[in-house]
Amino acid sequence: MAPVVQKPHFCLGCFALIPAEARVCPCCGADQARLEARDYRAKLLHALLHPLSEVRMRAIIALGWRGEADTAEALVNCAMRHPLDVVQGLEIVRSLSRIESRNPGLGMLARLSKSHPAHAVRTAAMDAMNRPNAWTQEN
Ligand SMILES: [Zn+2]
């Protein structure tokens, strides 16, 4: 019989690797059941702080589709925390385009276009402001 492979389990509070059966995180003391009960939006915003880029990426995409104005700043901050992660930066540009298409005048793409350390991300943010339709499409 093949052994059961335990998937790594991350604390929902601090994202430390913890035993799957732990109810309380040994690192930060967070009650896992209480954090699990938070609403989906709060979880997505918190996931932007996750150390694994693929986890952040899912949250970035989901937040873009939700299109809520008050999540845009958290996306900009996420982009600024990872100046070398251009792939993530471009996905954040795409999500911000979706959010700004529903909430004109937020100015978050403008902020990225001025302040992101990566040239590719600044250029993409500028392009998304000038050609929003090209960035809000499915592909
Ligand atoms: Zn923790």
Residue type, 132: P
- The environment of the single-atom ion ligand 1, i.e. residues with CB closer than 5 A, is 11, 13-14, 16, 25, 27-28, 30
| Residue 4, pLDDT above cutoff 70 | no
Is residue 38 included in any domain, yes or no?
A: yes
**Stronger pLDDT, 47 or 9, i.e. the higher one:** 47
* Other CB atoms within 10 Å distance of the CB of residue 113: 19
pLDDT for the residue 29: 96
Closest CA to 47 of 13, 70, 18: 13
Q: Give the pLDDT band of residue 8 (cuts 50, 70, 90).
A: confident
9 found inside a domain: no
- Does 5 reside within a domain? no
Say yes or no to pLDDT of 139 above 60. no
Q: Is residue 90 part of a domain?
A: yes
Mean pLDDT, residues 37-61 taken together: 94
Q: Indicate the SS3 state at residue 10.
A: strand
User: What pairs with residue 18 in β-bridges?
Assistant: 9
Q: Does a structural domain hold residue 21?
A: no
pLDDT at 5 over 90: no
Q: What is the pLDDT of residues 116-132, one digit of tens each?
A: 999 999 999 999 999 99
Total number of domains constituting the chain: 1
How far is ligand 1, taken at its centre, from the CA of residue 33, in Å?
12
First to last CA, the chain: 43
* Domain-embedded: residue 19: no
Q: What does the pLDDT read at residue 3?
A: 61
Alpha carbon of 57 to ligand 1 centroid (Å): 21
Domain of residue 90 covers 29-135
Asked if the structure places residue 22 within a domain, the reply is no
Chain-centre distance for alpha carbon 26? 25
Q: Is residue 20's pLDDT more than 80?
A: yes
